[in-house]
Amino acid sequence: MKLLLDTHLLLWAAGQPERLSSAARALLDDPQSELLFSAASLWGISIKRGLGRADFQVDPRLLRRGLLDNGYRELPITSEHAVSLDGLPPVHKDPFDRILVAQALVEGITLLTTDPLVAQYPGPVRAV
């Protein structure tokens, strides 16, 4: 199963695995899971780190390299993802989370999230 991780799950999987729920841990450890991360997550981390957000103090270059080295596949942002945003309901205002939802919908993959607002989107979104 292809799983796109939201930004907080990526950060926790890479640096604070104790914060992962048992459901998230089981999915990430399942050999049948194909784990993906979005360029949007690294973009968001870069911006929020630059703004001094304490929960985003990770070097995005090192995070990207570590994810790739550990078998994650990068999902680029395409124009198809961007134009599908206008079909999303106004559940969440964070543009990074919204593009993750759009990517999951367009690509037909499951978005794993820790955010209860993001979990309200229709489609392949799963709260863990």
Instruction: Quote the CA–CA distance of 89 and 77 in Å, as a whole number.
Output: 20
What does the pLDDT read at residue 92? Answer: 86
What does the pLDDT read at residue 91? Answer: 93
Mean pLDDT of 120-128: 94
**Is residue 57 scored above 90 in pLDDT?**
no
Instruction: Quote the CA–CA distance of 34 and 104 in Å, as a whole number.
Output: 13
**Is residue 38 scored above 90 in pLDDT?**
yes
Q: Are 3 and 112 in contact (CB under 8 A)?
A: yes
What does the pLDDT read at residue 54? Answer: 84
pTM for this model (two decimals): 0.94
Q: For residue 18, with 0-12 CB atoms within 10 Å meaning exposed, 13-18 middle and 19 or more buried, which class applies?
A: exposed
